[in-house]
Amino acid sequence: MTFTLTSAAFDNGAPIPKKYTGDGEDVSPPLSWSDVPEEAKQLVIICDDPDAPTKEPWVHWVIYNIPAELGGLPEGIPADEEPKDVPGALQGNNTWPTIGYRGPAPPSGTHRYFFKAYAVPAGLFSKPGLDKKAVLAAIDGKVIAQAELLGTYKR
């Protein structure tokens, strides 16, 4: 099952504005979702770069425990384990490893950045600081629906 994930900052498949990158203000872009199935109570969002010159995709953001009924995330979520802007949400470690969003900063060429959203039941997470692997393990077999937003960036 799928639902819709969009951003007011960029269209699916389009370049991510510099503001949301390591070359700009390095703030998280605003995200919105719709058509999330009623049985899904929370969302997980992971942003990664499969074009990074590393064995695994470079993880830019791990945020989970997001109440599905919010309908979106505002721009510039602070790099806090429990961001006050999103009550109930928890943030995990990216590849640096730091907590919160870190924007695109590719070493060369155009890279793709996938914002993947997973609609899940409540009660899967109790602590912040998990990495992508731990979050994906926790939701394995429990994903009700998925959505994806693709942005690109070239220095």
Assigned CATH for 4-154: 3.90.280.10
- Please report, for the chain, the start and end positions of each structural domain, with discontinuous segments joined by +: 4-154
23 token code pair: 């070359």
pTM passes above 0.95: yes
117 token code pair: 């959203």
pLDDT tens per residue across span 51-72: 999 999 999 999 999 999 999 9
pLDDT tens per residue across span 21-36: 999 999 999 999 999 9
pLDDT tens per residue across span 99-131: 999 999 999 999 999 999 999 999 999 999 999
